[in-house]
Chain A
Amino acid sequence: MSRFLAPILILVVLVGFFFIGLHKNPNIVPSPLIGKPAPQYELPLLLKPGETLGTEKLLGQVYLLNVWGTWCFACRAEHGVLMEIARQNIVPIYGFNSRDDPQKARQWLADLGDPYVASMVDTDGLVGIDWGVYGAPETFLIDQTGIVIHKLIAPMTMRIWHEDFLPLIQQLKAARP
């Protein structure tokens, strides 16, 4: 009987590993930016091309940075959720319009509504590389001191908003009103 013990034990361990592995999503790559200062950048605004925004200018507030583009299917799906979050008026959402045609992007906001306080335009995707953006939609949560607190690589849903983002935001606001 004891001669079967070792193989069975090894099997159980392996099955354990595979079982955990099965439930992980390989498309989600953890961001090395979490807990670190947001990259420095300044980009022109979509609706006011003469003005710019960037990490420096956004200091002092908790905010969401949402990466979107008109070429991104899932962005359309999450747009209603962003509208709802904007209506709740808890944190400002800033848009990060990635690799897009500004004309189409403006039309998109005119058609679907604009949940963003402002959208920055990263036409060539270079600032996106500094943010480690590899797909859209992506949503970052940044605190008052410019530290990246959380990153979602998927369309935002009300459930994710309530379960993942809101508690973090409340914590941040309580720590530094």
Chain B
Amino acid sequence: MKKMIAVLLLMPLALFAVDNNDALEDPELQERYETITRELRCLVCQNTPISDSNAPLAEDLRNQVREMLLAGSSNREIYSYMTDRYGDFVLYKPPFVKRTLLLWLAPGILLLLGGTVLVRTVRQRAAMPIDDDDENEEEIE
């Protein structure tokens, strides 16, 4: 009985094994294969990488990645093969180009902006006399 429960509990895990391909013989290639298929978006079900998607297209693209790896292609060659056909959108990590400048720089700009406001506010507050006649502060105290 206990064994059966254990088996039943493990069953959902088996569902995640989408990729039916045998592992590549060369462990280094297999590692690259896993990295690349995790970095490529499946266009049919857009929020999954092709490594986790059972859409027929994802399967085809996984096979393509394997074949290219076995043929000696570099990671860069494989990524550009994909973007030549499907556009930058297939990459989970968008390239740093003019069109994506705002996307890449926005976090830094916002941090800088927020930091500046924070520093200024803190300095202003520090410069204020302690006996401020702000009603709210009195209430809290």
Q: For A131, what are the chain B residues with a Cβ–Cβ distance below 8 Å?
A: 85
**Chain B residue with minimal CB distance to A32?**
B87
Number of A-B contacts (CB under 8 A): 37
A125 to B96, CA, bound (A): 31
Chain B CB within 8 A of A35 CB? no
A171 to B57, CA, bound (A): 35
A32 to B43, CA, bound (A): 14
A90 to B100, CA, bound (A): 40
Q: For A130, what are the chain B residues with a Cβ–Cβ distance below 8 Å?
A: 85
Say yes or no: A26-B46 contact (C-beta < 8 A), given A125-B60, A126-B60: yes
Does A135 contact B43, Cβ atoms closer than 8 Å? yes
A27 to B41, CA, bound (A): 12
Q: Which of A33, A99, A126, A134 contacts B43 (CB 8 A)?
A: A134
Q: For B87, what are the chain A residues with a Cβ–Cβ distance below 8 Å?
A: 29-32, 132
Say whether chain B's binding surface is mostly helix, strand, loop, or mixed: helix
Q: Mark B81-93, 1 if CB is under 8 A from A, else 0.
A: 0011111110000
A73 to B43, CA, bound (A): 18
Say whether chain A's binding surface is mostly helix, strand, loop, or mixed: loop
Does B61 contact A32, Cβ atoms closer than 8 Å? no
Chain B CB within 8 A of A8 CB? no
Does A134 contact B83, Cβ atoms closer than 8 Å? no
Q: In chain A between 104 and 127, which residues have their CB closer than 8 angstroms to a CB of chain B? A: 124-126
User: For this complex, into which size category does the number of interface residues on chain B fall?
Assistant: 10 to 19
A90 to B64, CA, bound (A): 38
Chain A CB within 8 A of B56 CB? yes
Does B46 contact A32, Cβ atoms closer than 8 Å? no
Q: For A129, what are the chain B residues with a Cβ–Cβ distance below 8 Å?
A: 60-61, 64, 85
Say yes or no: A32-B56 contact (C-beta < 8 A), given A134-B43, A135-B44: no
Q: For A134, what are the chain B residues with a Cβ–Cβ distance below 8 Å?
A: 43-44, 57, 86
Does A27 contact B85, Cβ atoms closer than 8 Å? no
Q: Mark B65-98, 1 if CB is under 8 A from A, else 0.
A: 0000000000000000001111111000000000
**Chain A residue with minimal CB distance to B56?**
A99
Say yes or no: A32-B60 contact (C-beta < 8 A), given A27-B46, A134-B44: no
Q: For B88, what are the chain A residues with a Cβ–Cβ distance below 8 Å?
A: 32
**Which residues in A have some Cβ–Cβ distance to B below 8 Å?**
26-27, 29-33, 99, 124-126, 129-132, 134-135
